[in-house]
Structure 1
Amino acid sequence: MFSGMLFIFAPLVIGYLFSISRIEVLDKINQATSWLIYVILFLMGLSLAALEDFGSNLKIIVTMTVTFFVIISLCNLLCLPLIDRFLPLESEKKSSNLPLSRMALESLKLIIVVGSGLAAGLLLPLGLAWVEVASEWILFVLLFFIGIQLRNSGLSLKQILVNKQGMAIASLIIISSLIGGLLAAWALDIPAYQGLAMASGFGWYSLAGILMGDAFGPVFGGASFMIELLRELVALVFIPLFIQKKPSTAIGYAGATAMDFTLPVIQSTGGVKCVPVAIVSGFILSLLVPVLMLFFVSLGS
């Protein structure tokens, strides 16, 4: 594992310093990021295969996933309606023509990648001592590219600060998720800093799983990946059902994915007025995922 928080956080900060105007370069960076995510998730599967007593560890992963997902979701959904009540956002009456099943299948591809790595590690006579080091260096490059993506997302600080709903949604998601993380840590009898770190994924399943796996091992990494992937899959169903009456709640539950993966669903079912709110809230949460996770991880070192 890397020696400390700053060494892992450095490539994200360095990447954020790069302002790139050429679309073709950004497209190549986005494509490279996608491929690196697939590679590192495959390596996560290999890491799971290297665990001793895999059956017992799989039970722990499922237990952690269900506990964190249920508690954090309940905390989010209890708080988000406050924004709809006191800082209402108008949505348009629209119906979605998006193939939600196809979007869900895109998410499920990532489960297949992890599963493929797990199957390869269990069935093939592979030496897996190299997996941890390889994952760390790929993570280093991945964070650098993610920093570039965040810098070139098109949002200025002024655009973020003047969007009250977006900032309010992000703030409530952060606060309620961290409360949920503490409650889940208490329920599972694990240290509070681990619960807070696990609760800081905000729907960014690929990065959350990678960071938690690097910090606490493949059990935590696998559980974090599944927690955040479940959030996205539930959000795909939740958004069209509730965005007309509770737009801020629907946008907020999507977490960090509101600025990318679930944004088409938000736009098609809630209208264009929901788009800037979703982008701002999603951007803030995306920016804070590595910051908060690495901070809470550092508390245990």
Structure 2
Amino acid sequence: MYSGLLIILVPLVVGWLLPLHKTAILRAVNRLLSWMVYVILFFMGISLAFLDNLSRNLLTVFHTAAVAAVCIMLCNLLALLWLEKRLPWQHAHKQEKLPSRLHMALESLKLCGVVIVGFLLGLTQWNFLHHASAASEYALIFLLFLVGIQLRGSGMTLRQIILNRRGMIVASVVLVSALIGGMIAALLLGLPLKTGLAMASGFGWYSLSGILMTEAFGPVIGSAAFFNDLLRELIAIMLIPALIARHRSSALGLCGATSMDFTLPVLQRAGGMEIVPAAIVHGFVMSLLAPILIALFSA
């Protein structure tokens, strides 16, 4: 029952315990992590192609992803707007010219393309492709080890996290509201509550949630989790400029785990340097919680 939990937590903790702080090593880890994400999503696409009743299961994937995305993001947005009323975020920043949102969206969709390529290859049904599931499990262990090293090497201390009150508050609101949204989605979809909670725990980190959920629940739920979190990132990219002036907490919260990396440049350009510490703390907390919560809810 707890083998999946150990597969996730052990390599993550081992990576976290390694005190690697050299810039060159951390850059190499980041590059390798990017490549491993592509490799595992490719395997995920292959596994999806081996499903029985393929056309029916693909409809299930997209229906599940759409319902989950709407429920989770709606709960997040309502909770974050409530937070704006209770604790307004005062600022005097004037929005700068933003990078192309279309370009950033296309960067996100590259990973979707990798899943599709793997899926098309899997349709050939070649015998050696049956080993894709086993290969993805070993690749997942290595990826989680790299994630642990990356989180440790980010330089965030407990003091820095606790002292950034806004980042912690937004992270707490996103956490609670996302889990509520996941439970609502599970009830609407007829899924076990733990599955809905696990799906809500990706917090926009689609490259990780899709992989972990595939290992725990199979390629249908795993693919749905991937598209659910991909939609979150794409919607966040589009909404940040519209929300940032009056609803800074909402703009930050919708980014989820990506606020410390992929969407950080957009937040900085739109919201100024003062939003960066809160964005990094928020993203760090979400990134740390995502694999742990998915592991707990899928055990």
Shorter-chain TM-score: what band? over 0.9
Q: Which residue of 2 aligns with 1:46?
A: 46
- Counterpart in 2 of 1:75? 75
CA distance in 1, matches of 2:246, 2:199: 30
1:1-301 equivalent positions in 2, closer than 5 A: 3-91=3-91, 92-123=93-124, 125-298=126-299
Q: CA RMSD in A?
A: 1.3
1:172-209 Cα distance to aligned partner (Å, 9 max, x none): 11100110111111101111111111110000001000
Larger helix percent? 2
Q: Secondary structure at the match of 1:20?
A: coil
C-alpha separation between the residues in 2 aligned to 1:224 and 1:294? 14
Query: Which structure 2 residue ranges, 5 or more long, are not aligned?
Result: none
Return the alpha-carbon distance in structure 2 between the equivalents of residues 244 and 106 of structure 1.
25
Deviation of residue 222 (structure 1)? 0.4
Provide the identity percentage: 49
Distance 1:8 1:39 in 2: 18
Q: CA deviation at 1:18?
A: 1.4
SS of the residue aligned with 2:273? coil
Deviation at 1:124, TM superposition (A): 5.8
User: CA shift at 1:6, angstroms?
Assistant: 1.9
* Letter in structure 1 aligned against 2:287: S
Asked if the contact 1:20–1:152 (Cα under 8 Å) also holds between the matched residues in 2, the reply is: yes
Higher deviation after alignment, 61-70 or 93-102: 93-102
Deviation at 1:96, TM superposition (A): 2.6
Report deviation, 1:265: 0.2
SS at match of 2:130: coil
Q: Which amino acid aligns with 1:278?
A: A
Deviation of 1:85 after TM superposition, in Å, equals: 2.2
Per mean C-alpha deviation after superposition, the further-off stretch among 67-76 and 2-11 is 2-11
Contact 1:16 1:150 in 2 (8 A): yes
SS, match of residue 109 in structure 1: helix
Aligned-partner SS, 1:296: helix
Number of residue pairs the alignment of both structures matches? 298
Deviates more, 1:96-105 or 1:227-236: 96-105
CA distance in 1: counterparts of 2:151 and 2:54, whole angstroms: 37
| Aligned 8 A contact 1:166 1:281 in 2 | yes
Q: Distance in 1 between matches of 2:110 and 2:127?
A: 24
Unpaired runs of 5+ residues, structure 1, are none
Distance between the aligned counterparts of 2:289 and 2:8, measured in 1? Answer: 14
Q: C-alpha deviations, 1:58-107, integer Å up to 9, x for none? A: 01001101110001111001000232222222341113331211111110
CA-CA distance at 1:7 after TM superposition: 3.3
1:131-158 Cα deviation digits (max 9, x unpaired): 1111110000000000000011121100
Distance 2:98 2:71 in 1: 32
CA distance in 2, matches of 1:7, 1:68: 26
Amino acid aligned to 2:81: P
In 2: Cα distance, 1:7 partner to 1:127 partner: 24
Most deviating of 93-102 and 259-268: 93-102
In structure 2, how many angstroms separate the alpha carbons of the residues matched to 1:27 and 1:249?
Answer: 31
